[in-house]
């Protein structure tokens, strides 16, 4: 191990970014964003990306890295994040990882062993064509033959993950479940102090409601319309993110605006629940109840506990 870093994790809308900014100011730190949507350029409102003012106040890394139609993965995140951390430490600053994408956090600081497999466009195209002709169950059956553990947790409609699992198997000769089972065995280069932010479910859900309403007022509909006008396919992984999928559905006539907003609120609540389930399984996280506390107060607590 060489060097210490602090991690701030938790469900969406709990206030991670605000706490991270205050903590970075207190500890002379820089923030590495662990948010799988914040990497996309031109997707600002729906991702609750730090504002330009916030990004000027504290250095942020891994924000606005790729276009919405470019590939990005946990493996790429880890490589870029490690480069950023090395630079931060070389400057004598404190690296602070802030975000709610559990896979990214686990990959970077939890020793998660992920397959280093580049996308195989030819294979993906062939598998997608097979799914169109023969159905998703056909691909899922192929996966069952080589990786029954992964196939058991996937639905036939989850073509993206089915295709990725088949891609990994073809490239490595090992099922993707093998890499998941060896989580924790990869080398961890840092001494990590990991904090989870939490609050009561009613309080969190109220924050989610207000956040979604604020996004609509801030221009989320116009942001999604602009992305569609620029030619970004609504089927892209980036465009299936929270906010973009629901508002694109409204703009494409699948449902009216009130229905889209209600879907967004519901799906965000469900996502927050999944995030909590993921992070609660990590015994290394020290949980802080932030309900009724300001971001600066919570940051001060983290700073004290980290010293």
Residues 236 and 211 in one domain: yes
Residues 169 and 241 in one domain: no
| Cβ neighbour number for residue 188 with a 10 Å cutoff | 14
* DSSP codes of every residue in 84-151: HHHHHHHTTPEEEEE---HHHHHHHHS----------HHHHHHHHHHHHHH-HHHHHHHHHHH-HHHH
Q: For the chain, what is the domain count? A: 2
User: Rounded to two decimals, what is the model's pTM?
Assistant: 0.80
Residues 57 and 175 in one domain: no
Residues 129 and 69 in one domain: no
Average pLDDT (181-204) is 79
Q: Give the residue numbers spanning the domain of 220.
A: 4-113+184-306
Average pLDDT (116-127) is 81
- Contacting residues for 240 by C-beta, under 8 A, at least 6 apart: 234
Residues 143 and 286 in one domain: no
Residues 137 and 92 in one domain: no
- Contacting residues for 35 by C-beta, under 8 A, at least 6 apart: 47, 99, 100, 101, 104
Instruction: Please give the residue that has the higher pLDDT: either 3 or 238.
Output: 238
Residues 98 and 198 in one domain: yes
pLDDT of residue 185: 46
pLDDT of residue 268: 97
Residues 209 and 289 in one domain: yes
pLDDT of residue 84: 97
Residues 141 and 72 in one domain: no
pLDDT of residue 1: 42
62-111, pLDDT tens digit by residue?
Answer: 999 999 999 898 889 999 999 999 999 999 999 999 999 998 998 888 65
pLDDT of residue 112: 56
DSSP one-letter code for 35: -
Q: Measured in whole angstroms, how far is the alpha carbon of residue 276 from the centre of its chain?
A: 13
Average pLDDT (165-180) is 78
pLDDT of residue 155: 83
What do you get for the CA distance between the two ends of the chain, in Å? 18
CA dihedral of residues 257, 263, 268, 269 (deg, nearest 10): 130
Average pLDDT (177-194) is 66
> Which of 181, 196, 228 is the endpoint of a domain?
181
Average pLDDT (251-263) is 97
Residues 295 and 246 in one domain: yes
Tell me which H or E stretch contains 77. Answer: helix 74-90
79-83, 93-97, 179-183, 299-303, range with the lowest pLDDT:
179-183
> Which of 181, 209, 228 is the endpoint of a domain?
181
SS3 string of 227-291?
Answer: HHHCCCCCCCCHHHCCCHHHHHHHHCCCCCHHHHHHHHHHHHHHHHHHHHHHHHCCCCCEEEECC
Residue where the block lists tokens 């709610």: 100
Q: Domain with 221 in it: what CATH number? A: 3.40.50.300
Supply 231's token pair: 């030619």
Average pLDDT (154-171) is 85
pLDDT of residue 111: 55
Cα separation of 140 and 125, whole Å? 16
Supply 246's token pair: 């629901």
50-65, pLDDT tens digit by residue?
Answer: 999 999 999 999 999 9
Q: Domain with 167 in it: what CATH number? A: 1.10.20.140
Cα separation of 36 and 242, whole Å? 11
262-272, pLDDT tens digit by residue?
Answer: 999 999 999 99
Cα separation of 39 and 66, whole Å? 6
> Which of 181, 199, 214 is the endpoint of a domain?
181
Residues 161 and 74 in one domain: no
Residues 47 and 152 in one domain: no
């Amino acid at each position: 191990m060489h060097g210490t870093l602090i991690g701030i994790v938790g469900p969406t809308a709990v206030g991670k970014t605000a706490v991270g900014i205050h903590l970075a100011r207190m500890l002379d730190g820089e923030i590495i964003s662990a948010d799988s949507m914040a990497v996309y350029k031109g997707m600002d409102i729906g991702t609750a990306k730090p504002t330009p003012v916030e990004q000027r106040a504290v250095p942020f890394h891994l924000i606005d890295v790729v276009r919405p139609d470019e590939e990005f993965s946990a493996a790429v995140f880890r490589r870029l994040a490690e480069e950023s951390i090395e630079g931060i430490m070389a400057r004598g600053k404190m690296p602070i990882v802030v975000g709610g994408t559990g896979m990214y956090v686990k990959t970077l600081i939890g020793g998660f062993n992920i397959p280093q497999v580049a996308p195989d466009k030819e294979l993906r195209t062939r598998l997608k064509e097979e799914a169109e002709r023969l159905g998703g169950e056909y691909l899922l059956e192929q996966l069952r033959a080589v990786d029954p553990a992964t196939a058991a947790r996937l639905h036939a409609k989850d073509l993206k993950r089915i295709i990725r699992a088949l891609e990994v198997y073809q490239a490595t000769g090992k099922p993707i479940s093998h890499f998941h089972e060896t989580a924790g065995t990869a080398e961890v280069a840092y001494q990590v102090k990991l904090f989870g932010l939490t609050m009561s479910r009613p309080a969190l859900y109220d924050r989610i409601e207000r956040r979604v309403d604020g996004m609509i007022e801030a221009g989320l509909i116009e942001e999604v319309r602009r992305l569609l006008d620029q030619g970004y396919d609504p089927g892209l992984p980036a465009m299936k993110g929270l906010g973009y999928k629901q508002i694109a559905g409204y703009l494409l006539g699948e449902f009216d605006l009130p229905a889209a907003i209600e879907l967004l609120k519901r799906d965000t609540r469900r996502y927050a629940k999944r995030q909590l389930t993921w992070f609660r399984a990590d015994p290394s996280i020290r949980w802080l109840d932030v309900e009724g506390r300001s971001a600066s107060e919570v940051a001060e607590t983290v700073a004290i506990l980290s010293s």
